[in-house]
Amino acid sequence: MVALLLVLLLILVLFGAGFALHLLWWIALAVLVLWLVGFFVRGTSGQSRWYRW
């Protein structure tokens, strides 16, 4: 009985970690797209309001 509960707990932890990592990949992709848009907008206008590099 205890082993079954430990396996179920392990499955829940791994599922939660997988969901969190999947969500972090989508957030990283969104940040990359925003950075690329900011980079190209800065390249055409010469001035940047996004960041100063």
| Cβ proximity of 38 and 48 under 8 Å | yes
| Per-residue pLDDT at 51 exceeds 70 | no
What's the whole-model pTM score?
Answer: 0.57
**Which two three-digit tokens encode residue 11?**
């499955």
What is the tens place of the pLDDT at every residue in 5-47? 888 888 888 888 888 888 888 999 999 888 888 777 765 555 5
pLDDT score recorded for residue 49: 57
Question: Which secondary structure element, helix H or strand E, spans residue 4, and what is its range?
Answer: helix 2-45
Chain centroid offset of residue 19 CA: 11
Task: Please count the residues of the chain.
Answer: 53
